[in-house]
Amino acid sequence: MNDDLDRQNNNIIANWARKHSLWVLAYGTGCGAIEVPPTMTSRYDAERFGITGMATPRQADVLLITGYLAIKTLKRVIRTYEQMQAPKYVIGFGSCTINGGMYWDSYNTIKRLDDYIPVDIFINGCMPRPEGVIDGFIKLQERIARGQAKGWQHYQENLDWYRANQKKVIKNWTMPDYNW
């Protein structure tokens, strides 16, 4: 199975297409969601890089976590992430996803997103401006083209570790083992 995954990751044509067509599911947690509309609309026009918004997790490639995550929201994010189809990437947006940001001592937000779902690119700042967001997307495109954006593969291989971390913070875990 690992050979198959590596072969898929290093397919030049598929990586080129994945790079130039990123369909974003903007998960509007926290305050970062306000920076997404200017990124997508006329002023900064992310569509010229092939970046388009999508409505459902089944169709999307990139999960954009915009800001802090409450524990209640984390449950929905895990469900959404696991419903996305396989070459899938996560962008952590803002300082809150890196180390908690201004919510570093809050009792009900997670501090480090990377412990719960695999993040391919972090965009720091509070908030990052649309230029920063587009720069983050371009960094992600470069990683995809080199076949290095393998967060989804890492998640499959280390599912037990991620699951243990997730169950540590979500006390009333009622979801199935994997949400297909």
> What minimum distance in Å lies between the beta carbon of 20 and another protein?
5
Q: How far is CA 150 from the centre of its chain?
A: 12
CA–CA separation, 150 and 22 (whole Å):
15
Give the nearer residue to another protein in terms of CB position, either 35 or 61.
Answer: 61
Considering only 33, 38, 50, 112, the residue that binds another protein (CB under 8 A) is: 50
Considering only 2, 3, 7, 42, the residue that binds another protein (CB under 8 A) is: 42
Considering only 34, 86, 102, 159, the residue that binds another protein (CB under 8 A) is: 86
Site for another protein in 12-31 (CB under 8 A): 13-14, 17-18, 20-21, 23
Site for another protein in 87-106 (CB under 8 A): 87
For residue 101 the two structure tokens come to 């940001």
Q: Which of 57, 101, 81 is nearest to 163 (CA)?
A: 81
CA–CA separation, 88 and 71 (whole Å):
22
Whether 57 contacts 80, CB under 8 Å? yes
Give the nearer residue to another protein in terms of CB position, either 84 or 119.
Answer: 84
Site for another protein in 106-125 (CB under 8 A): none
Strands (E), the chain: 22-27, 51-53, 62-66, 89-93, 121-123
Question: CA of 159: how far to CAs of 56, 112, 162, in Å?
Answer: 23, 17, 5
Single-letter code of the amino acid located at 95: S
Whether 12 contacts 49, CB under 8 Å? no
Give the nearer residue to another protein in terms of CB position, either 50 or 125.
Answer: 50
CA–CA separation, 17 and 8 (whole Å):
13
Pattern of binders to another protein over 130-149, x per CB under 8 A? Answer: --------------------
Give the nearer residue to another protein in terms of CB position, either 49 or 139.
Answer: 49
47 sits near another protein (criterion: CB under 8 A)? yes
Using CB under 8 A as the criterion, which residues of the chain lie in contact with another protein when the complex forms? 8, 11, 13-14, 17-18, 20-21, 23, 41-42, 45, 47-48, 50, 53-61, 84-87, 180
